[in-house]
């Protein structure tokens, strides 16, 4: 166990060193991400200043929501996103075959050897929004609400990592995953808005089959004392349980696909 | 010696998607994909003893890589059973991986943007190689493969030949019992091929590492592997030694002689004239173990020889001659009794 951990840590170190060899591209990535987020958040802010609120959410509440969403996503994605998003190429190019001849879990190898320091920008942005918004939304702090904040963030990160893992696992069987990643990101963008503004069927979907509602909507609603459709009093538990459950489901799905792996051809 | 690798009635079927023309076809194949079974490996049985060096030979698409993937735990056989060091490679993938070394000629296991030495260090941690053993192996292998001059250079700056040498050296760092190589000489120039071949046969001799390599170059086999297994379209065609292959498959080496003047009628004992005109004469050589020097010493011609060229039949030629002589579907030929399991 200790040896495995030190090995995984070594992989992260190699990865960071590789990225630092190309410092310029790292800075460009950070800047591009910064502009991307600035655009989206400004448009949400403009809607808010026009209409005072979105589905009953004020701007500071919305800022907490967005900060939570960004931070939860970044924590999950820095381990899984870049490396698993290229899964289609990893499988087709035969790189996955090369992982299978090494004495290590291929998922762990991919995740740690691709550790994504580009996400530093996301994490700072998410933290900043949360720190700015928290004092303005009047949360009464207690042990349960603190647990909700941290537990909810971890759950959110787990959901992100699980979704990305599930989508990438499809490449093991279908040799394809790009389109599915596109689909995931479409839903992910929608989950940046309070679910209550969508049609009821879609709200239900976000709380069940596409569990992105638990990324921010459910935990932040609970923190703010807002009602959550369908879940009601069960919302805090559902929010904390969603991440670990997603991880279990994703792990089972990954194993299921790995057993059906037929090579990358050639 | 007991077998450490065995394949019994092994087959592998892939379902290949058949793409259909037009937009309608694309939609149809998305909804209900049409697949076609490809028998990449069909009913193959062999066993290999510790310390052997075996060449796995066949033309493109013969199923060589697929067999290596089944032996290294990447794929499971569709039928039959493979055993490596007493294990089923895919079921005990990690344990199997620790005991074998694998090199794929067209892939890399090296960390592209970092110096070679970092890849070696990662390998040490991955395989949990004890420090003393690692330093010893690293020194010895770097020396044998002449890696020292570029060991601190990023891998992306290495030539293909340098990279291949590093690749093979790395695969041996943890003292694997078996080394699997899939086309280790592909794309290399003559000199680099020679280095790799000499190295592999030395490793096999000195360390007793069992070697299995796939290739479509008979020369690889000649220099490294006393035994060869030949496959075509997934089926076993031959299992035995190279001379036995030449004998039973009838593909002869071709000798071309160039004379300085008109040679008249040329007689060469142990060779059959097969054409040539003017100053050139061609012969097909019998496989009777006679050396080129012996052959030429018995040459009878009325002019001096200016140049001599010896042409090895390629794997494609060997197989073609085989089919031509059989005139029908392939049946396995065994050049020697299989190693007892
Ligand atoms: N993952 C896969 N999916 C579908 N078909 C495959 C797959 N891998 C291999 N095949 C098919 O199986 C057959 C054997 O392939 P394989 O790669 O084993 O041949 P090979 O002997 O290594 O050939 P080469 O000399 O070209 O490397 C080929 O017809 C190939 O198209
Ligand atoms: Mg091949």
Pick from B218, B184, B231: nearest CA to B203:
B184
What is the residue-averaged pLDDT of chain B? 86
Per CB distance under 8 Å, which residues of A are interface residues toward B? 3, 6-7, 10-11, 14, 17-18, 21-22, 94-95, 97-98, 100-104, 261-263, 266
Q: Is A208 helix (H, G, I), strand (E, B) or coil?
A: coil
Residue B337 scores a pLDDT above 50: no
Which single residue is written with the structure tokens 């190279």? B242
**B110 and B42 Cβ atoms separated by less than 8 Å:** no
Whole-number pLDDT of residue B268: 82
A136-151 in b/e form (b: 16+ CB < 10 A) is ebebeeeeeeeebbeb
Residue B225 lies in a domain: yes
Whole-number pLDDT of residue A65: 93
Q: What are A9-58's pLDDT values in tens digits?
A: 898 888 888 877 777 777 777 777 777 777 777 877 777 777 767 778 88
Residues B158 and B277 in one domain: no
The 8-class DSSP code of residue A57 comes to: B
Residues B217 and B273 in one domain: no
Residue A254 scores a pLDDT above 60: yes
Residues B282 and B199 in one domain: no
Residue B29 lies in a domain: no
Q: Which atom of ligand 1 is nearest to the CA of B64?
A: 21
- State mean pLDDT over A56-71: 90
% chain A with pLDDT above 70: 98
Whole-number pLDDT of residue B28: 73
Residues B298 and B181 in one domain: no
Closest CB to B114 among A7, A17, A95:
A17
Residues B102 and B219 in one domain: yes
Pick from B193, B198, B146: nearest CA to B169:
B146
Which single residue is written with the structure tokens 């991880």? A247
> What is the number of domains present in chain B?
2
Whole-number pLDDT of residue B341: 32
Going by pLDDT thresholds of 50, 70 and 90, the confidence category of residue B20 is confident
Write out chain A residues lying below 8 Å of B100, CB-based.
101
- State mean pLDDT over A155-167: 95
Q: Which atom of ligand 1 is nearest to the CA of B41?
A: 14
Q: Is A207 helix (H, G, I), strand (E, B) or coil?
A: helix
Residue B228 lies in a domain: yes
- State mean pLDDT over B249-255: 76
% chain B with pLDDT above 90: 52
Residue B120 lies in a domain: yes
Alpha-helix runs per DSSP H in A22-137: 23-51, 59-85, 87-92, 95-100, 106-113, 120-133
Going by pLDDT thresholds of 50, 70 and 90, the confidence category of residue A231 is confident
* Residue of A103, A105, A261 for testing the chain B interface, max B β-carbons within 10 Å: A103
**A137 and A81 Cβ atoms separated by less than 8 Å:** no
Residues B238 and B259 in one domain: no
Residues B216 and B263 in one domain: no
* Tokens matching residue A89: 């190429």
Helix axes A143-174, A217-224, angle to 10 degrees: 170
Q: Which atom of ligand 1 is nearest to the CA of A262?
A: 1
What are the beta bridge partners of residue B280? B258
Out of A10-19, B58-67, B110-119, B246-255, pick the least confident: B246-255
Write out chain A residues lying below 8 Å of B74, CB-based.
97, 100-101, 261, 263
Domain stop point among B219, B247, B275? B247
Residue B229 scores a pLDDT above 50: yes
- State mean pLDDT over B28-34: 73
CA distance linking residue B242 with residue A262, whole number of Å: 33
Domain stop point among B224, B247, B270? B247
Report the gap between the CA of B79 and the closest CA in chain A (Å). 14
Going by pLDDT thresholds of 50, 70 and 90, the confidence category of residue A159 is very high
Pick from A147, A138, A80, A144: nearest CA to A112:
A80
Going by pLDDT thresholds of 50, 70 and 90, the confidence category of residue B338 is very low
Q: Which residue has the higher pLDDT, A34 or A186?
A: A186
Q: Is A241 helix (H, G, I), strand (E, B) or coil?
A: helix
Q: What are A205-229's pLDDT values in tens digits?
A: 989 888 999 999 999 999 999 988 8
CA-CA-CA-CA torsion sign (A247, A262, B44, B188): negative
Q: Which residue has the higher pLDDT, B329 or B307?
A: B307
Residues B137 and B158 in one domain: yes
Residue B333 scores a pLDDT above 70: no
Number of the ligand closest to the Cα of B41: 1
Whole-number pLDDT of residue B288: 67
Write out chain A residues lying below 8 Å of B121, CB-based.
10
Residue B291 lies in a domain: yes
Which single residue is written with the structure tokens 């808010």? A48
Task: Give Rg (Cα) of chain B.
Answer: 23
Pocket of ligand 1 (CB under 6 A): A 262-263, 265-266; B 14, 16, 38, 40, 58, 60-66, 216
- State mean pLDDT over B139-147: 93
**A244 and A155 Cβ atoms separated by less than 8 Å:** yes
Q: Are strands B305-311 and B254-259 parallel, antiparallel or unpaired?
A: antiparallel
- C-alpha distances out from residue B21 to A148, B18, B32, B72, B164, Å: 54, 10, 14, 37, 41
> Domain limits at B289?
252-312
* Closest residue CA from atom 28 of ligand 1: B61
Residue B10 lies in a domain: no
Task: Give Rg (Cα) of chain A.
Answer: 19
Whole-number pLDDT of residue B112: 87
Residues B238 and B148 in one domain: yes
**A107 and A253 Cβ atoms separated by less than 8 Å:** no
Residue B319 scores a pLDDT above 90: no
Number of the ligand closest to the Cα of B230: 1
The best mutation among B40, B58, B64, B75 to test binding of ligand 1, ranked by most ligand atoms within 8 Å of the C-beta, falls on B40
Write out chain B residues lying below 8 Å of A102, CB-based.
97, 109, 126
Report yes or no: B114 at the A interface, CB cutoff 8 Å.
yes
Pick from A71, A74, A40: nearest CA to A189:
A40
Whole-number pLDDT of residue B140: 94
Residue B205 lies in a domain: yes
Q: Which residue has the higher pLDDT, A148 or A15?
A: A148
**CATH number of the domain residue B96 falls in:** 3.40.50.300
Residues B161 and B288 in one domain: no
Residues B106 and B71 in one domain: yes
Q: Which residue has the higher pLDDT, B242 or A133?
A: A133
Whole-number pLDDT of residue B336: 44
Measured in Å, residue B37 CA sits from the centre of ligand 1 at 12
* Tokens matching residue B53: 């060096």
Q: Which residue has the higher pLDDT, A114 or A258?
A: A258
Pick from A181, A164, A35, A31: nearest CA to A110:
A164
Whole-number pLDDT of residue B211: 97
Residue B340 scores a pLDDT above 70: no
Residue B273 scores a pLDDT above 60: yes
Pick from B275, B267, B254: nearest CA to B298:
B267
First-to-last CA distance in chain B?
9
Residue B216 scores a pLDDT above 90: no
Residue B108 scores a pLDDT above 80: yes
Model pTM score:
0.84
Residues B67 and B199 in one domain: yes
Whole-number pLDDT of residue B251: 66
Complex ipTM over 0.90? no
Residue B21 lies in a domain: no
Residue B148 scores a pLDDT above 90: yes
């Amino acid at each position: 166990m200790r040896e495995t951990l030190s090995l995984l840590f070594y992989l992260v170190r190699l990865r960071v060193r590789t990225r630092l060899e190309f410092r310029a591209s790292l800075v460009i990535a950070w800047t591009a991400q910064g502009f991307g987020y600035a655009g989206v958040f400004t448009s949400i802010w403009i809607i808010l200043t026009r209409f005072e609120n979105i589905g009953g959410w004020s701007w500071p509440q919305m800022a907490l929501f967005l900060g939570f969403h960004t931070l939860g996503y970044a924590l999950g994605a820095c381990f899984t996103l870049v490396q698993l998003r290229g899964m289609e190429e990893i499988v087709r190019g035969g790189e996955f075959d090369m992982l299978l001849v090494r004495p290590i879990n291929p998922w762990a190898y991919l995740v740690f050897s691709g550790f994504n320091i580009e996400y530093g920008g996301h994490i700072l942005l998410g933290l900043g929004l949360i720190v700015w918004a928290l004092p303005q939304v009047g949360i009464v702090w207690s042990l349960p609400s603190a647990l909700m904040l941290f537990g909810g963030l971890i759950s959110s990160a787990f959901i992100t990592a699980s979704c990305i893992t599930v989508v990438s696992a499809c490449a093991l069987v279908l040799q394809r995953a790009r389109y599915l990643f596109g689909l995931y990101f479409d839903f992910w963008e929608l989950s940046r808005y309070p679910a209550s503004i969508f049609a009821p069927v879609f709200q239900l979907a976000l709380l069940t089959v596409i569990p992105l509602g638990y990324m921010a909507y459910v935990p932040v609603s609970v923190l703010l004392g807002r009602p959550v459709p369908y879940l009601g009093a069960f919302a805090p538990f559902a929010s904390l349980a969603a991440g670990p459950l997603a991880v279990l489901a994703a792990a089972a799905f990954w194993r299921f696909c790995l057993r059906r792996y037929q090579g990358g051809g050639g | 010696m007991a077998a450490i690798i065995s394949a019994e009635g092994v087959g592998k079927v892939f379902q290949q998607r058949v793409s259909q023309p037009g937009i309608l076809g694309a939609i149809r194949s998305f909804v209900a994909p049409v697949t076609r079974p490809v028998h990449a490996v069909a009913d193959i049985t062999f066993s290999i003893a510790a310390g052997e060096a075996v060449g796995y030979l066949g033309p493109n698409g013969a199923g060589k890589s697929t067999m290596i993937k089944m032996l290294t735990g990447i794929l499971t056989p569709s039928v039959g059973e493979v055993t490596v060091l007493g294990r089923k490679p895919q079921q005990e993938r990690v344990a199997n991986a620790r005991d074998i070394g694998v090199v794929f000629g067209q892939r890399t296991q090296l960390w592209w943007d970092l110096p070679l030495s970092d890849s070696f260090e990662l390998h040490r941690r991955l395989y949990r190689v004890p420090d003393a053993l690692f330093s010893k192996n690293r020194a010895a292998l770097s020396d044998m493969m002449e890696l020292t001059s570029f060991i601190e250079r990023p891998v992306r700056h290495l030539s293909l030949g340098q990279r291949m040498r590093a690749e093979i050296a790395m695969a041996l760092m943890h003292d694997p019992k078996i080394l699997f190589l899939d086309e280790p000489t592909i794309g290399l120039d003559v000199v680099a091929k020679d280095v790799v071949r000499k190295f592999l046969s030395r490793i096999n001799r000195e360390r007793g590492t069992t070697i299995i390599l796939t290739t479509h170059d008979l020369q690889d086999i000649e220099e490294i592997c006393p035994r060869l297994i030949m496959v075509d379209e997934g089926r076993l065609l031959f299992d035995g030694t190279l001379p036995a292959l030449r004998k039973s498959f009838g593909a002869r080496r071709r000798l071309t002689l160039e004379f300085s003047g008109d040679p008249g009628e040329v007689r060469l004992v142990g060779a059959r004239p097969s054409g040539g005109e003017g100053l050139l004469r061609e012969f097909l050589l019998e496989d009777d173990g006679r050396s080129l020097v012996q052959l030429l010493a018995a040459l009878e011609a009325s002019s001096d020889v200016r140049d001599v060229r010896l042409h090895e039949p390629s794997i494609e030629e060997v197989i073609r001659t085989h089919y031509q002589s059989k005139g029908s579907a392939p049946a396995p030929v065994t050049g020697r009794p299989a190693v007892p399991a």
